[in-house]
Amino acid sequence: MERDLQFSGCTISANQCKCFEKLTEEELELLEKNSVKVKYKRGEILFKQGGLVSQIMYMEQGLAKVYLDNGKNSLVLKIIPDGNFLGLASVSEENNTYQYSVMTYVDSLVRQIDISFFRKLLNQNPGFTKEVIDILSTNSVLIYGRFFCLTHKQAYGKLADILLCITDQIFKTREFDLPLSRKELAELSGMSAETVVRMLKKFHEEGLIQMKGKSFKVLNYERLKMISETG
């Protein structure tokens, strides 16, 4: 069920963090003292592009979108599920502002880690630092693939990419309750909501998927994958 994400439009940050496994008992105790867990409701902003960096965030439980916004238009870069960091692009001391905005898709629990303490861990624990570098590298590949998809794939390929990405990387099953609205699916695939609704109906009529309210089921995974690959 695993897919090569290099040239897909997958937005899911799939590289779950193993950083905390590299910390000593003392560092873990200090992490608890230098972080807090905060509950966010669906649709809440965790931080905004251009804001001053005071913390690195870790998604304990939930789902959020990372996006660029110029006030008129926005572009979703990736989706953050459980076990992933938010704000790593601003971890350098030379960069004291957030490079993107983050908003929750569902009710979420987020650990806010003091940025100074996080930087201290990077300086003193090579194993922890390596894991963070691996995450940054994987995220770069993910975004390159997404731009390739948005630029070169046709509408059906884009939507198939997103549906497979959610199926494979978030739920890891072919039947689930979809937490995203049709408008949010359109935002992810870079199309209008009307186009996405029309295409979802066509996918349903052709026996590729089944949708009823929030209930979603992939009926023909291989065909959907073929549409994704051929664009």
Both 54 and 116 in one domain: the answer is yes
Q: CATH no. for residue 176?
A: 1.10.10.10
d(CA 180, CA 200): 13
Of 72, 82, 73, 62, nearest in space to 13 by CA: 82
Q: Which of 131, 148, 165 is the last residue of a domain?
A: 148
pLDDT of residue 13: 61
* Domain count within the chain: 2
d(CA 140, CA 89): 10
d(CA 224, CA 208): 7
Both 118 and 159 in one domain: the answer is no
Both 212 and 130 in one domain: the answer is no
Q: Does residue 10 form part of some domain?
A: no
pLDDT of residue 77: 84
Residue whose entry in the numeric block shows the structure tokens 């350098």: 92
Q: Does residue 109 form part of some domain?
A: yes
Q: In the structure encoding, which two tokens stand for residue 130, read together?
A: 């390596």
Q: Does residue 7 form part of some domain?
A: no
Q: Does residue 204 form part of some domain?
A: yes
Q: CATH no. for residue 33?
A: 2.60.120.10
Q: Which of 109, 130, 148 is the last residue of a domain?
A: 148
pTM: 0.84
pLDDT of residue 2: 43
Of 200, 202, 189, nearest in space to 231 by CA: 189
Both 36 and 127 in one domain: the answer is yes
Each residue's pLDDT tens digit, 1-45: 444 444 455 666 655 678 999 999 999 999 999 999 999 999 999
Range of the domain at 180: 153-230
Q: Quote the Cα angle for 118-50-96, to 5°.
A: 35
Distance, CA of 154 to chain centre? 22
Both 173 and 225 in one domain: the answer is yes
Burial class (CB in 10 A: 0-12, 13-18, 19+), 62: buried
pLDDT in tens, the chain (231 residues): 444 444 455 666 655 678 999 999 999 999 999 999 999 999 999 999 999 999 999 999 999 999 988 877 788 888 899 899 999 988 888 888 999 999 999 999 999 999 999 999 999 999 999 999 988 888 888 777 777 777 778 889 889 988 998 898 888 899 999 999 988 998 888 889 999 999 999 999 999 999 988 899 999 999 999 998 886
* Kind plus residue range of the DSSP H or E element containing 108: strand 108-114
Both 46 and 157 in one domain: the answer is no
* Contact present, 135 and 143 (Cβ < 8 Å): no
Q: Does residue 11 form part of some domain?
A: no
Q: Which of 148, 166, 184 is the last residue of a domain?
A: 148
Residue whose entry in the numeric block shows the structure tokens 């965030």: 57
Q: Does residue 129 form part of some domain?
A: yes
* Kind plus residue range of the DSSP H or E element containing 39: strand 35-40
